[in-house]
Amino acid sequence: MGLARRLAALGTALALCLGLTACSRQEQTESDFAPEEAERLVIYTSHKAEVWRPIVREFEERTGIWVTVETGGSSELLERIDQEQDAPRADVMFGGGVEGLAAYADCFTPYTARDADKLDARFSRADGLWTPFSTLPVVLIYNNKLLSAARVTGWHDLLSPAFRGHIAFADPEISGSCFTSLVTMAAALGGDWQEDVRAFAENLDGRQLDSSGAVLDEVADGGAWLGVALEETALKYVSDGADVSLVYPKEGTSAVPDASALVKGAPHEDNAKKFLDFTISQDVQQLLGERFYRRPVRSDVSGDESLPDLAGIRLVDYDVDWASKNREGILMTWAFYLGGEGAA
């Protein structure tokens, strides 16, 4: 039985079980059912529930491991992991751009996952600092009622005075995907990255959103004309009926993977390794294309055939190490010009 069908069957069985036992167990608490410490796992994730929940639930069913999930923005969770180094609470960081994970390398223990030899070499890391999950091209999106396709073609549009104050973008210090987008833009334009960051920040005219998810809402609702998003999120909005379109920037874009990493000193390290193995298993990777508009990182798993082939998309040379080493400087430059301190 395929993973998607197994998940549906699991949901039905769980609902029946809960219905039959609710009355007799009303007085019981979670501690009555909780397993031993050796059978637990704590995951911090920046993924939306629609992504992490079916994967975690299937992992629990297959392994019998009790999983606790705590959610938040990737930068927020990485900072928590850093602050908890003396007494780690999390076992796995599930999600977030790889440059963010690399910037917090001291918080993680390298691990080479089972089936790592099946990964596309473009999206893996030899030392195992992180385990790739899916690859996520960055795209531009625009509201079809406010702009025509001819008006939005590439990154240079984000610097155009014609769009000043009409662009949706989230705080790159909070949103890992927006940080990736910022570095992608600089790499694609190929000029002075500080000048490009300055021009883009000033063109927002002080309008910065709190999350990458809000970018799609803002554009779909007409609060902004255009914005920057991940391919996966944009395609989901289109499939849900939003009157928006997406563009792969003509100057090029990135297809940086999001990933998972083993927390150094993880209280449940063996279980954490099992979960990392599971995220790149053939079943989970196949599910990415079937349900989430995501591109798998395994070379032996085909993605959603409706997506354009990566070979036909112009990709920039995204330097993950440079992005992670210069993260603080990039964010400081962004904040400086967004706030208007650098304006003439």
Q: How confident is the model at residue 81 (pLDDT cuts 50, 70, 90)?
A: very high
Q: Which has more confidence, 68 or 33?
A: 68
- pLDDT of residue 218 exceeding 80, the answer is yes
Report pLDDT for 289: 82
**324 and 235 belong to one structural domain:** yes
**204 and 321 belong to one structural domain:** yes
* Out of 73-82, 164-173, 302-311, 312-321, least confident range: 302-311
Model confidence pLDDT, tens digit, residues 155-203: 999 999 999 999 999 999 888 889 999 999 999 999 999 999 999 999 9
- pLDDT of residue 343 exceeding 60, the answer is no
Report pLDDT for 341: 55
What's the rounded mean pLDDT across residues 239-257? 96
Other beta carbons within 10 angstroms of residue 321's beta carbon come to 9
> Among candidates 251, 205, 210, 257, which has minimal Cα distance to 231?
257
Report pLDDT for 33: 65
**96 and 166 belong to one structural domain:** no
**250 and 275 belong to one structural domain:** no
**229 and 323 belong to one structural domain:** yes
Only one residue has tokens 């007799």, namely: 24
Question: How many domains in the chain?
Answer: 2
- pLDDT of residue 25 exceeding 50, the answer is no
**105 and 73 belong to one structural domain:** yes
- pLDDT of residue 5 exceeding 60, the answer is no
- pLDDT of residue 286 exceeding 80, the answer is yes
What's the rounded mean pLDDT across residues 281-290? 93
**149 and 239 belong to one structural domain:** yes
Q: Which has more confidence, 190 or 7?
A: 190
**173 and 278 belong to one structural domain:** no
Q: Could you tell me the residue range of the domain that residue 152 belongs to?
A: 138-254+312-338
Report pLDDT for 35: 79
Report pLDDT for 234: 95
What's the rounded mean pLDDT across residues 266-270? 98
**Contact between residue 58 and residue 3 where contact means Cβ atoms under 8 Å apart:** yes
**239 and 297 belong to one structural domain:** no
What's the rounded mean pLDDT across residues 113-129? 93
**180 and 130 belong to one structural domain:** no
Q: How confident is the model at residue 322 (pLDDT cuts 50, 70, 90)?
A: very high
**71 and 213 belong to one structural domain:** no
Q: What percent of the chain has pLDDT over 90?
A: 77
Distance CA 260, CA 133 (A): 7
Distance CA 15, CA 191 (A): 57
- pLDDT of residue 216 exceeding 90, the answer is yes
**79 and 203 belong to one structural domain:** no
Q: For the chain, where are the alpha helices, taking DSSP H only?
A: 3-21, 49-63, 74-83, 98-103, 176-189, 193-203, 212-220, 231-239, 269-279, 282-291, 320-325, 327-338
Q: How confident is the model at residue 304 (pLDDT cuts 50, 70, 90)?
A: confident
Does residue 59 sit in helix, strand or coil?
A: helix
Q: Does residue 344 form part of some domain? A: no
Q: How confident is the model at residue 18 (pLDDT cuts 50, 70, 90)?
A: very low
**Contact between residue 294 and residue 95 where contact means Cβ atoms under 8 Å apart:** no
**Domain containing 52 — which CATH number?**
3.40.190.10
Q: What percent of the chain has pLDDT over 70?
A: 89
Report pLDDT for 1: 55
- pLDDT of residue 268 exceeding 90, the answer is yes
Q: Does residue 168 form part of some domain? A: yes
